[in-house]
Structure 1
Amino acid sequence: MARGLFKRRQKIKQPKAAFDEQLLQSLNAAKIDWDRAKQNEKAIYDNNTSELVTQTALARVKYLYLYREARLRQVHGSQIQRSVIDK
């Protein structure tokens, strides 16, 4: 028998409010990074550089992951940008 195959998820040791606040800060930082990456991609005329496209895609994926996590946890806060909530 394989022991430990189905492990329980570890509980968060921080209070929910502290973790939610940290999640909101990470979400806002990811949004800023994604916006900056999009601006950099537009600013550089030569769009053949796959590194910029990859950085923009990575920033987008990070943001969307954090956004989904915040929605699943039903995190609400005054820090979330209005454009983020409307999406």
Structure 2
Amino acid sequence: MLGFRKNIKNVGSQYDEFLLSSIDRAKAQWDQAKETESAISEVDEEIVAQTQLSKAKYLFLYREARERNVSNNRIQSSVIDY
């Protein structure tokens, strides 16, 4: 029971690192989906839906990081372009 608080602190920082890496992956997927959508001449509903889903995932993770006050050099508010 003595080391319980120490473990909670480590779990929180591990989750924050996982969250930051998830944000990086989600941003890369969203960028890829936008590039795919713009590169294809005949865009169908599935491609548009995939792009919107990638955007929603990224924005959800970004909001979660902001609510948790996760700060790191990797997150910049300027990366959101609507």
TM beyond 0.5: yes
Match of 2:26 in 1: 30
Q: Distance in 2 between matches of 1:75 and 1:42?
A: 33
Matching of residue 65 in structure 1 with residue 60 in structure 2: yes
| TM value normalised by structure 2 | 0.79
Q: Distance in 2 between matches of 1:81 and 1:29?
A: 15
Shift of 1:79: 2.4
Shift of 1:16: 1.3
Q: 71, 78, 84: which one pairs with 2:73? A: 78
Runs of 5+ consecutive residues of structure 1 not aligned to the other structure: 1-11
Mapping for residues 47-66 of structure 1, pairs under 5 Å: 47=43, 49-66=44-61
The structure in which a higher percent of residues are helix is 2
Question: Equivalent pairs: percent with the same residue?
Answer: 50
Match of 2:5 in 1: none
Change (3 A) 1:22 1:44: same
Runs of 5+ consecutive residues of structure 2 not aligned to the other structure: 1-7
Q: 16, 20, 44: which one pairs with 2:16? A: 20
Alignment deviations for residues 32-83 of structure 1 (CA, whole Å, 9 cap, x no partner): 0000000000000112x11100100000000010011000001011222563
| TM value normalised by structure 1 | 0.75
